[in-house]
Amino acid sequence: MRKFHHQHSIPTPHTLPDHRVLQALTDLANNQDMDYSKFCQVAESEPLIITRIMRAARAIRAGRENGVDELRHAIAIIGVRRVQEILEAIGRDVHRSKAG
C-alpha cells in the first residue's frame, strides 16, 4: 500500500480521471460491502481522486498526533459516503469538461 507521509507527497493532479476508472471506483464505493483493497488499487492510478480523499481525511485529523498516510486509512476516517460524494463531484467535473 502506497503511503503519503506529507502533504507534498500526495500526487499533484494535472488532469481529470479517466471516466472508466471513475465509474469503476464509483461502482466499488456504491457496493454495500466495499472492497477497500480493490478500491485503493484502482484509485492509485488517479492522482486527483487520491488528492481529494487524502485532503478530506487530513482536514478531519488536523492537529492530531497521528496523521493520515494511507488511502485506506483516509477512507476509514471520512467514510464511504464522503468518498461517494467526492467521486460524484469529480464526475460532474468530468461531465462538464466533455460538454465544454
Q: What does the pLDDT read at residue 88?
A: 95
The three cell numbers of residue 21 are: 476508472
pLDDT tens for each residue of 52-65: 999 999 998 877 76
pLDDT tens for each residue of 31-43: 999 999 999 999 9
CB 81 within 8 A of CB 89: no
- How does the average pLDDT of the chain come out, rounded? 84
Average pLDDT over residues 79-91: 96
Single-letter residue type at 44:
E
Q: What does the pLDDT read at residue 68?
A: 84
CB 38 within 8 A of CB 28: yes
Q: What does the pLDDT read at residue 35?
A: 94
Model-level pTM? 0.81
Indicate if the pLDDT at residue 98 is higher than 80: no
pLDDT band of residue 9 (cuts 50, 70, 90) is very low
What are the structural domain ranges in the chain? 16-99
